[in-house]
Structure formats: C-alpha cells, structure tokens
A and B are shown apart, each in its own frame.
Chain A
Amino acid sequence: MSGNKVPIGPFHPLLEEAEYFELTVDGETVVDIDLEIGWMHRGHEYISEMSTFTQSIYLVERICGICSTSHPLACVHAVEDIDNIEIPERGRYIRTLVGELERIHSHLLWLGLAGHFIGYDTVWMWAWKYREPILQMMEIISGNRNHYGIMRVGGVSRDVELSKIVELHKHLDMVEKKMVMIAKIANDDPVLKKRLKGVGVLTKEDARNYCATGPTSRASGVRGDIRIDDPSDAYDLVDFKEIVLPNGDCYDKLVVRVLEILESIKICRQVLNKLEVIKGSFWNKVENIGVGEGCGRYEAPRGEVFHYIRSDGTNRPIRHKVRAPSYVNIPTYEASCKGISISDALITLAAVDPCYCCTERSMKIKEVNNKKVPNLMDLSRGKTEKLRREING
C-alpha cells in the first residue's frame, strides 16, 4: 500500500519487550498497520517439558513480571484439571487475594503509562504512587514485591497470618479512597473525555472476530470474564460485578480498568474478612499426577491466560502450551488503528495494555530543514495540550 511508513520498534533501549508495528500513513491518517512478533525466543514451553510440575510453576511465573500470579495460577489449574484435585477453602481464598492484588497493581501500572502517553504526568505519578501500597501488601503476604512464589498444585505455599490482616485492611482502605478520586477524575475531566472518546474504536464485531479478551473486549461490549464464566478458587464465593462498556474506544478501556480496580478492592476486602474466620489447611498434598490432559485458565489483568498440560503419568508434562492474553489482543490493532490520526496511534496501541513498556521504540528524531520532526509521544501529548487550551480558553 502506498503512503509513508512509520516504524515502531522492534528494539529500543527503553522497551521491556520487542514488537514491531509498521504504520502506513496518508498525511496524518493511519491507513494500514502491519504487525510482526517473534523478536524474543524464550522457550518457556520447551523448558517446562523438561521440568517437573512444581518447577514449571516457578518457570511460568517468570513469563511476565506483571502477570506473575496469573500464569502460575492458570498452570496449577491445568495440572489440577488432569486429576480433579480439590483445594482447601483457605487456599482458594488466598489464591483469589493474590490474584486480585495483581490485577490492581497491573491496572494502576497501565493507568500511569496511559496518563504519561497523553500528557497527564500527574496521573502517571499518582497511579504509580498508589500502586506502591499494593506491592507492599504483596510483600506482607508473600515476602516479595514481585514473583510471589505462592501458587502450588493443591493450594498455596504459605498462609496469610491473622496478625497481618489488620495491616492489609489499612493499605486497602487507603488505595480505595484514592481510586474513588481517580474514578471521579476520569468521569469529570472534559479534556480527558475529548482526548479519548471515539479514539481507536474496536467494534463489538471486531472484538469477537479477533477473539479479544479481558478489558479489551469488555470495553467493546463483549461480555466474558473467566472469574464468572468458569469460576475457580474463591470467585464463586465472593460478590463482584463484571464491568462491560459499549463503545470500544480508549476512554471505555480506561474506565473499564478503573472500575475493575474498585471491584477488585471489594473482592480483596471480602477475602480478608473470610480469612479472619476460616481455619484449616491452605494446601492439600499431591503425591502424583496421573495420565491425562488439563486446561487451566485464569482472568489475568489483560484477559484470559490459558495453559494446557498433557501428562503421561511421570513427574513432568509431555506438552505444556501457554497462551497469554496479549497474543489475541494485539492483532486487534488491525481494526482499531485504521483511520485514526497519527497523534492517536500511541494511546490506541497502549490501550490494549500489550505488555510493552512505552514510547516510540526505534523512532528517531530527525532534523528536516533545521527543524526537529516530532515523535509519536510529542504528537500525542501535543494533541492533549491543544484540546486543553481550547476547552479552558
């Protein structure tokens, strides 16, 4: 297709991960996008097939630093699915608590980055500031701020002591107060609305055709949340709402995540209350895994994470398949990016929360006629500033 090509990626010192997007632009309008993945070869599935079931759980925890509960949780669900292994009630609640805390910190991380991309650096700093107590809660529960090492087949590897629950409640109260404030900002700010509403729309039909999942599809009016549809752990024992919004634009993707944080806080509070009264073991010892196959899934912050494990009765899987949510969400760019302005490309790419860090990737600032050519970040933030001036006079 004719037009100027704007490469984004694949390698840049600032990037956590490597991906390559090639935007074809006509003037300021994106008319086509080509996606290429496969810039990293980590071999997790292969290594897992050479590891024991227990080792695999710690291995998949390292697939992603942000989803470091979702992958092991889906993995243990898959192993438990082979033999229909039952989990003690206390273990189920602890799994749910850690999973929801991860959702809060992941959504806050995204919120901060999204704010940064559109020139709301205060949102960035606040979101990351309020993410800190969540990481501290993780440290109280597991001893680690990341890679908690808490999932194991048959339950969890450590208990949440009663003496710590008061402290966890305090952290949660503080985060909730701030989240209510951020939700109000998202609802009231005219610049934010004008900047994000109608931008990067993923229609309901496209969300279904691309098999999108998580907040990406729920913001397009497609319902589906593994916590409700295929409940595991304590999700059928707690009360919470599935957040579905109709428009599929960047604004709805933001609101879905903010409201999901509030729902997650609600779940955490219920779980902490239960942990104060439920006694008993948090783990059932599992000696052997039989012959068979199992599907495990969990609603990660970005959507459904899926693990398939086949066992031949030995202590290691003969096949371990992993599918992260970004794998099905990233192709939706083909639908959501076409027709948008180049200044909206950055936030549209980021709205999927595709597990990459930020910014312009391999874009270089070139000088043309002694003038600097703006990069994607400048364009995105510039548009917000222009709207702000228009609205505020």
Chain B
Amino acid sequence: MDKLNKFIEDMGDKITNKIDKKRRFYFNVKNEDLRDVVDVLWNEIGCRLSTATGMEMEDALEILYHFSDDETGQYYCPRLVIEDKEKPEANSIALIIKGAEWIEREIFDCWGVNFIDHPRMEKLLLLNHPDKLDKTMRMEGAK
C-alpha cells in the first residue's frame, strides 16, 4: 500500500470531501482533528509544510494547508473551514511545526483568524504599519 492510501485508511472519518488529482490530494478536516492529521503528515509521513492559504468565501473562511512529501512529490492539502466569521478561531499547528509561526501570523493579519496556542499571536505584515489598521482584508463586515 502506498503512503497516500495508508494515510487515507489511517485517518478514517477524520478527513472528508477527498479530491485526489495528479499528485495533489485535497481533503477537509475539522478543527479538533487538525493537529492529529498534521502530526501524522509531519512526523509519520515526513512532509514539509510549504505554506497555508487563507481564503474568504461567502459563508465561511477557509485555511488550506499545503504539505509536500518530498520523497514522492505528493501534495497533501488539508482544508479547514471556519464558519464563524465573527470570531474565527483555529488550532495552531506552530506547536508541532516551528515553520508555521509566520504563516499563521500572516493569516491572522490578513483574515483575522485567531490561532489558539500560537506562541506569538501578533501581526506580521502590518506590525509596523504607520496607520493603526484595526480591520483585516476581509469583505464587508470585517472585524
């Protein structure tokens, strides 16, 4: 069994809405399962975190992580959907992956997502901005 199929089998119900394209595997994960899934990707499969993409859709915010398995060239893309746009929160994965610190700070900066347990949850890109920007880049009604 190859790594991808083993991962799918091991994760069971923790991952849903699976889309398998050529060397790209997208799937949804719940906030409470995020760290478990990331732990397997990082420690067992040995993936590297390329980055994470914050997105605003009409009814939710999305965070799409991009994990690269450099041995096989396979991309694993867990998608976290945050429906509470008023007070968006997600579990930080920076406790598992040091390299996620800046990535999560940028999403906090741009989309207002608060990452729980992040070691330094403050702005990254707008930290030294001369104007006091209290709004994110989100659409109308942004907090």
Contacts and interface: CB of A to CB of B under 8 A. Distances in A.
Contact of A229 (B72, B98, B100, B129): B72
B70 A223 contact: yes
B127 A331 contact: no
B64 interface: yes
Interface string B80-116: 0000000000000000011111100000000000000
Nearest to B137: A46
Interface string B37-79: 0000000000011110101000000001010101111010100
Given A38-B127, A319-B55, A209 B97 contact: yes
Interface in A210-256: 210-213, 223-224, 229-231
B21 interface: yes
B128 interface: yes
Contacts of A328: 51, 99, 102
Contact of A38 (B24, B26, B101, B129): B129
B124 A37 contact: yes
B48 A224 contact: yes
Size bracket of the A interface = 35 or more
Contacts of A308: 53, 64, 66
A231 B73 contact: yes
A229 B71 contact: yes
Interface in B1-45: 21-24, 26
A106 B130 CA distance: 34
B4 to A, nearest CB: 14
B73 A229 contact: yes
A224 B70 contact: yes
A229 B47 CA distance: 12
A81 interface: yes
Nearest to A217: B48
What size tier do the contact residues of chain B reach?
Answer: 20 to 34
B125 interface: yes
A38 B48 contact: no
Contact of A209 (B64, B70, B98): B98
Nearest to B56: A319
Contacts of B139: none
Residue from A46, A213, A230 whose CB has the most chain B CB atoms within 10 Å: A230
A210 B103 CA distance: 11
A46 to B, nearest CB: 8
Contact of B51 (A36, A38, A323): A323
Contacts of A340: none
A38 B51 CA distance: 17
Interface of A is mostly: mixed
A332 B73 CA distance: 24
A208 interface: yes
Contacts of A84: 21-22
A315 to B, nearest CB: 19
Contacts of B70: 223-224, 229
B142 interface: no
A75 to B, nearest CB: 14
A373 B122 CA distance: 35
A41 B21 CA distance: 34
A293 B50 CA distance: 16
B102 A331 contact: yes
Interface in A328-358: 328, 331
A38 B128 contact: yes
B21 A323 contact: no
Nearest to A332: B99
29 contacts: A10-B128, A37-B124, A38-B126, A38-B129, A41-B125, A81-B21, A81-B22, A84-B22, A208-B48, A210-B99, A211-B48, A211-B49, A212-B99, A229-B68, A229-B71, A230-B23, A230-B68, A230-B73, A230-B75, A293-B26, A295-B24, A295-B77, A306-B66, A308-B53, A308-B64, A310-B55, A319-B55, A327-B102, A328-B51
Interface of B: 21-24, 26, 48-51, 53, 55, 64, 66, 68, 70-73, 75, 77, 97-102, 123-129, 137
Given A36-B127, A213-B48, A319-B55, 10 more contacts: A37-B102, A37-B124, A38-B127, A211-B97, A211-B98, A212-B99, A224-B48, A306-B66, A328-B51, A328-B99
